[in-house]
Structure 1
Amino acid sequence: AWDNLAWFAVLVGMAGQLTNLGIVSWMSNCVAKLLQSFSLSWPVAFCVLEASYFLIHYLFASQTGHVGALYSAFLAMHIAAGVPSVLSALALAFNTNLFGAITHYSSGQAAVYFGAGYMELPDVFRLGFITALINTLIWGVVGTIWWKFLGLY
């Protein structure tokens, strides 16, 4: 447990340094300008940014590190692209929970299941991909209708 805590502290510290060094804001500004140059409507920009936020998690070893480094940057990109702010904030938060099952290192729970030997590595990635597709379908179809009903956009 202490080993995990030590590594977790390093990951959170590294995520904080990305922000402190201005890398996150620089990346955010570059992506926002790129999206604006394509003249995308906000729903298309929303889908592109949400998919990017989800897939970038393959490069992070923890949900907390990912959120600490990228949540505010992606929220700024959403708002710059014209996506309603409440929808942006909630969608990023929901998306953060969805990518917890895509790899053996994507969340604390995933590491426990893999480390205990319940699953082999190829199975983790295969099931993570299937879970991601199912979640995308549910959130993309049912979620879109529900959020419209709630008045989030």
Structure 2
Amino acid sequence: VPALGIAYFLTTFMFSSLSAHTIAFAGTFLDAGHALGANPMILTCLVAYFGALSGCMTNFSTGTVAMYFAPGYVSSSKWFRIGGQLAIFYLFIYFTVGLGWWSLLGWNSKT
């Protein structure tokens, strides 16, 4: 599950639209996870959470973000640097605290 979640998250940088990324990859990654025997609850949540978090990763991922970027208050290099730092932070939280919490909720068993 971690490798699929990270791959889904990082492929966001290949798309200029969060909607296009979700349409292109969500079903594919969920099918791949099913074929590999991944926990469906955890993988579905990771795809949903990372899909939402990916909106702040680049200066072109959503229409709202583009409106914040357009006035020029933040350079694209700074946006990508902060986006990369946030990516590392979110990945760390979801794969440490998140997996522990989901285990307490009973999501670690295959359903």
Which is richer in helix?
A: 1
**Per-residue deviation, 1:116:** 2.3
5 Å-filtered alignment, 1:123-134, equals 123-134=78-89
* CA deviation map 1:7-33 (0-9, x unaligned): xxxxxxxxxxxxxxxxxxxxxxxxxxx
Structure-2 separation of matches of 1:129 and 1:54: 11
Correspondence for 2:8: 53
Contact 1:102-1:128 at 8 Å conserved across structures: yes
* CA deviation map 1:74-116 (0-9, x unaligned): 0000111111112221111011112111111122332121112
SS of 2:55's partner is helix
5 Å-filtered alignment, 1:36-75, equals 46-75=1-30
Aligned length: 108
**Per-residue deviation, 1:118:** 2.3
- Aligned CA-pair RMSD: 1.1
Structure-2 separation of matches of 1:147 and 1:107: 29
Structure 1: unaligned runs, 5 residues or longer: 1-45
Contact 1:63-1:106 at 8 Å conserved across structures: yes
Q: Which consecutive segments of 4 or more residues in structure 1 shift more than 4 A?
A: none
Correspondence for 2:36: 81
SS of 2:29's partner is helix
Structure-1 separation of matches of 2:18 and 2:61: 6
SS of 2:48's partner is helix
Q: In the alignment, residue 62 of structure 1 is paired with which amino acid?
A: S
> Aligned pair 1:94/2:87, yes or no?
no
Percent identity between the two aligned chains: 31
Q: Which of 83, 89, 92 is the aligned partner of 1:137?
A: 92
Structure 2: unaligned runs, 5 residues or longer: none
Correspondence for 1:7: none
